[in-house]
Amino acid sequence: MEALNINTNAEIVTNYNLDEEQEKKEIVRHYRALLRALREKLKKGDKELLRTAFEMAADAHKTMRRKSGEPYVLHPLAVAMICVEEIGLGVRSTICALLHDTVEDTNIALDDIKSEFGNEIAKIVDGLTKISTVMDTNSSQQAENFKKILLTLTDDPRVILIKLADRLHNMRTLDAMKQEKQLKIASETIWVYAPLAHRMGLYNVKTELEDLSMKYMEPAIYKEIAKKLAETKRERTKYINEFIRPLKEKLTAAEFDFEIQGRPKSIHSIWNKIKKKEVSFEEVYDLFAIRVILNADLDKEKEDCWKVYSMITDEYSPSPERLRDWLSNPKSNGYEALHTTVMGPQGKWVEVQIRTKRMNEIAEKGLAAHFKYKEGSQNEDRFDKWFVQIREALGNQQDEGIDFLQDFKTSFLAEEIYVYTPKGEVKMLPINSSALDFAFYIHTAIGSKCIGAKVNHKLVPISHKLRSGDQIEIITSNKQKPSEDWLSSVVTAKAKNSIKDALREEKKIIAEEGKYSLQRKLEGIGALYNTYNIDQVMFYYKLSSHLDLLFKIATKTIDLKELKLFQVIGDKIEAPKPVNLSPEINLENPALKAASKKDSELIIFGESSDKIKYTLGKCCNPIPGDDVFGFVSTGKGLIIHRNNCPNATQLLANYGHRVVKTKWAKNKEISFLTGLSIIGLDDVGVVNKITNIISGELKINIAALTIESTEGLFKGTIKVYVHDKDELEELVTRIKSLNGIQQVMRFDTETV
């Protein structure tokens, strides 16, 4: 384009300063790299289309720069490269990636793209434009608008794949953002995008998104694990080589065409293991996994994988509980492999994954590879079935956006189990599904009449949690009907929507009583029973629908005594000032308004703590020194949470507009209650040694102390008053230094 004067044949005019010249060379270098990556996929005319798309993007973004200062066009180029190299998409998706921000951020209109590239590409760019206003906005509509993402997903999955590439590049370049923006974007990523990447079969993308989110949400822990992984790399490589040497010999002797890789587990998954198993980094046994990739004929894939499994378990003893057979029952995102954990040299457990080249490509490129191998595959309708289920869920959905997003995560983004019908048919359900979920999965009518089930021929209640391999028979009764408490027993969107539909019908019948009561009351004050007047009453009681109002009147939750306070003007009523049933923090408060300006601190604990009232979150018990944020809560004012609070991800991702920047001020006069759990060898005088450190050496006040001893081990919980995080960390270090102490951990989720 003339305005930028980018010549893709490198005949660059030299009438610019050196920086501009270097930038243009950099842009052209990225474009050429993209063409090289696409070389095998280029058909006649594709190169010209790509050139047009690139020049259109370069010209549209010519005056724009990213937060890092680099030319903006490098971002769509990077997104396009991720689409090609890491997700396996083709030329059309690359064009869409190059143009994905143009309609949203520049003067280019959708019609311009349609006339240049046709309907298909315009439709995908339109989908990407809609999504860009969903998860990246500071609006309370985030989760509600998330449905747009899902609609585009079922319409053309490439929209989501390109959006995942966009998010991955944004996460890779997040350093240039301010901390509060980093927290918000990282939270959205871990909350929605990483699970979505996992469900689309993009394991590498999912893993990197999780690690990068952790880098910004828990930087200290991230750096510590990364450092320890780097320090143990040499030792790990030596062990991997020792482990695979005999396996290579066996597989070579059996004339298999194969490769063996050893790869470290992701930082995020290691941290999850540390938390789940309550162990130290050194005690996490599977810091890495061995992957065997076979070059096998399609009709011999399963047979060859099991042969290799047999050879590996001849060499090393397997753990029977750790065998995962995704050859016979692939995951619904297309993942196929055989996983086992074996006892390696030096008494170390090692995870081994066995798959073919085709399976490996599907594992790394997910949906894009799935469509490549779709013809003749037994799994050809797995994604299609999933899309149909999402469409059904969207069609029936009547919840608030946040509730819907939570339901979607548990129903469509969770790990899965496979179960059997009485006739032996395999059904895939999300993990934590109950017998009632299974009943609704089979048919809505069966779910609505379910009174119990037989799991593996044993009678169980409808809330019974299912496990992979279970065979389920549903027991029904024509007298049964859904009740409110059923909602706590199900996780699937289909079951929840079906139960809510049934309850809504029941509610309508009960609400008829409320209708007559309201009609009588309105006529009693000389007003008509019409839509306008019902709206006035509904708004007064802060309800969202006529049905809710009439139901609450019928069930005597509302007795309408305040109706006499309404003013009747002609046949209309005018409500008095509404009753404040659920008071919210006043966002017009001058102190709050001034404090929430850009770059300002909302609250500085200590001197100005009297200006804005706050409470400390019971879910994470923050203390000075913790990285924290303030959350404006309905009815409870400002609540302070730690950045790594169990609820932080959901709050930051879904309610970004309610999150305010916070900071601790130095104040050694105030003490904060926190707690530690301690595990160690039961030794004489151990309690005395611990209390001596706390009260004697560090002069810290103890609020409570409990010790339980069983079979030579003790578990203790101590609640103490500390001034800040430094004091707590000093206490942890001192207790850990005692002989026989195995673990000291801060309470995270318990109420101290």
Q: At what angle do helices 158-172 and 142-155 cross, to 10 degrees?
A: 130
Measured distance CA(105)–CA(65) in Å, rounded: 12
* Cβ proximity of 188 and 653 under 8 Å: yes
Choosing from 20, 105, 601, 682, the catalytic residue is 105
Residue 314 structure tokens: 């001849």
Sign of the Cα pseudo-torsion (14, 19, 22, 28, in order)? negative
* Cβ proximity of 560 and 517 under 8 Å: yes
* Cβ proximity of 205 and 166 under 8 Å: no
Q: At what angle do helices 203-217 and 219-231 cross, to 10 degrees?
A: 120
Measured distance CA(336)–CA(330) in Å, rounded: 5
Measured distance CA(544)–CA(308) in Å, rounded: 61
The H or E element that residue 727 is part of is: helix 725-736
Choosing from 20, 104, 180, 601, the catalytic residue is 104
Measured distance CA(76)–CA(34) in Å, rounded: 11
Q: In what order do the strands lie in the sheet with 672-681?
A: 701-710, 713-722, 672-681, 741-746
Spatial CA neighbour of 193 closest among 155, 142, 231: 142
Question: Strand 659-663 vs strand 603-604: parallel, antiparallel, or unpaired?
Answer: parallel
What is the identity of the amino acid at 701? Answer: N
The H or E element that residue 220 is part of is: helix 219-231
Question: Strand 349-356 vs strand 416-420: parallel, antiparallel, or unpaired?
Answer: unpaired
Compute the half-sphere exposure of residue 327: CA atoms within 13 Å on the CB side of its CA. 21
DSSP state of 464: P
Q: Is 748 a catalytic residue?
A: no
* Cβ proximity of 411 and 430 under 8 Å: yes
331-346: b or e for each residue (b if 16 or more CB lie within 10 Å)?
bbbbbbbbbbbbebee
Measured distance CA(111)–CA(167) in Å, rounded: 26
Sign of the Cα pseudo-torsion (647, 648, 654, 656, in order)? positive
Residue 735 structure tokens: 């207790």
Compute the half-sphere exposure of residue 738: CA atoms within 13 Å on the CB side of its CA. 26
CA dihedral angle for residue 530, residue 534, residue 535, residue 539, rounded to 10 degrees:
160
Q: Is 101 a catalytic residue?
A: no
Catalytic site residues?
Answer: 104-105
